[in-house]
Amino acid sequence: MLFTSASFFILLLVTFILYYLPFFSRLQIHLLIIASLIFYAYEQPILLLLLLFSATINIVTSYYVIYGPADKKKIIALAGVIFNICILSFFKYSPLFARTLLNNEGSIANLLLKIPLPIGISFFTFEGISLVIDAYKEKFFKETSQIPVSLVRHAKRTIFFISFFPHLISGPILKAHDFLPQIKQKHLKDIDWDFCFKNLILGYFLKMVVADNLKDFTFWMRYPSFQAFSSLSLLTMLFGYSCQIFADFAGYSIIAIGMAKLFGYDFIANFNFPYISTSFSEFWRRWHISLSSFLKEYLYIPLGGNRKGKLRTYINLLITMFLGGLWHGAAWSYAIWGTFHGVALAIERLYKDNLRVKSTKFTNVICGIFVFSLVSLGWLFFKLSNIHHVAEFLKNVASNYAYRDNAQIITYIILYSSPVVFYHIFYLLKWQKITTQKYDYIFYGIMLFFILINSGSPGAFIYFQF
């Protein structure tokens, strides 16, 4: 069920009305759980069983980590994490295993290739891991009692945490210690309407006007279509895809944040104007923040972080980004994309460890252009999952300079990418206090107008596949 579909808006409206009726005030969590399960089961009801099975594993293991035998605490937590990883690996990476090691041949390979990829599985398994590890560490739960003595109550809270529909399909990735303390009765009078309105308008504008229109022109980046286009056309498409993937994913996250706030829940910001970054480390502090912080807290730091010497730091960065890339999809192109960023981060870290260069406005601009260019280049591994097609695309960029430019595609990509450019420019202007917020509603009114008259054809969110 897409956030842009009529069926979703009906579900949202009915849930919202019932949620704030005094008669249902004690059943708010139950209503949101029911709505979330309907939302998830709408397209493929059978996959709801997997979501509930995953939730059950995390309910049981996190509960007995806290209330089970003290000497079994570590093994129970380890079992919970392993179960989550096994579920994710089986459903997401079995086809990759069949293609890589079995060469798509044999009955086992055929069986593995037919395993469905449940939408959102990468997100809800990571959230389950967060719950189990947080319970084991007792870092957040021991004093605040976020895991109640009642197993039934804990089950209800956990299912709600994992299935809450604004984040269920494509994030942001929630951490148990951030979300569970928020679970309590909510009131209509406490809604921050200004916050909700701005986030929903901005999110839907980025998704429906920017991303959904750009997809019709970046479509030609597929193999072998791109071979017929000029170098400039191909570079423009790559720029457009960079803007599209930002508008698509940031749009989804901003919509999710606005919707969660309608029901009284706060999600962390998932994007913070990433394309103004002047370094790769800054980019990853601004892009997909919930994933970056998850990988840092639950993988990079446990591996040793930067506490065990420079060489180990570089290795930890490469491992973290390799696995982070593979998390995005069941193809080696995603692992290469992650490794690409891991190498960039390691080189950047090596450079900063050994050289001290004074930062100026000019160097910041040059670094910003350089980082954006390499980040955009990396998105090729998202668009073209076949590595050979990526190489062919770059070959055509280098060789097709004499081809006639496609003026229509170039014009429309620049047109629909411009909101992403201005979005980042306005942030810089506000940061420098050149503009004020008194004109905000003019911009939101314009965005609403374009949502109504110039939305592209509906398309699934790019990150649904993850």
> Does 402 share its domain with 418?
yes
pTM assigned to the model: 0.91
- Token pair 């994309």 in the structure block, residue: 337
Q: Are residues 103 and 214 in the same domain?
A: no
Helix H segments across 263-386? Answer: 280-286, 289-295, 310-328, 332-354, 361-378, 380-383
Q: Measure the CA–CA gap between 305 and 349, rounded to whole angstroms.
A: 13
Domain count for the chain: 2
Taking 90 as the threshold, does the pLDDT of residue 385 lie above it? no
- The predicted-structure confidence for 182-194, as pLDDT tens digits, reads as follows 999 999 999 999 9
**For the segment 28-70, what is each residue's pLDDT rounded down to a tens digit?**
999 999 999 999 998 888 989 999 999 999 999 999 998 988 8
Q: Tens digits of per-residue pLDDT, 136-191? A: 887 665 555 678 888 999 999 999 999 999 998 887 999 888 899 999 999 999 99
- The rounded distance, in Å, linking the Cα atoms of 297 and 301 is 6
Tokens 């202007």, located at residue: 429
Which of 177, 288, 328, 389 is labelled catalytic? Answer: 328
Instruction: Determine, yes or no, domain membership for 333.
Output: no
Domain boundary at 168, 190, 212, which? 190
The whole-angstrom separation of Cα 159 and Cα 58 is: 9
Residues 237, 163: one domain? Answer: no
Statement to judge: residues 160 and 252 lie in one domain: no
Q: Is residue 43 part of a domain?
A: yes
Question: Quick one: how many helices (H) and strands (E) in the chain?
Answer: 22, 0
30 is catalytic: no
Q: Of 134, 159, 190, which residue is a domain's last?
A: 190
Domain span at residue 164?
6-190
Q: Final residue of a domain: which of 190, 211, 244? A: 190
Whether residues 50 and 133 share a domain: the answer is: yes
Which amino acid does the sequence have at 118?
P
- Do 168 and 44 lie in a common domain? yes
Task: For residues 271 and 281, give the distance between their C-alpha atoms in angstroms, rounded to a whole number.
Answer: 14
Asked if residue 101 is part of any domain, the answer here is yes
Q: Are residues 224 and 164 in the same domain?
A: no
User: Over 70: is that where the pLDDT of 464 sits?
Assistant: no
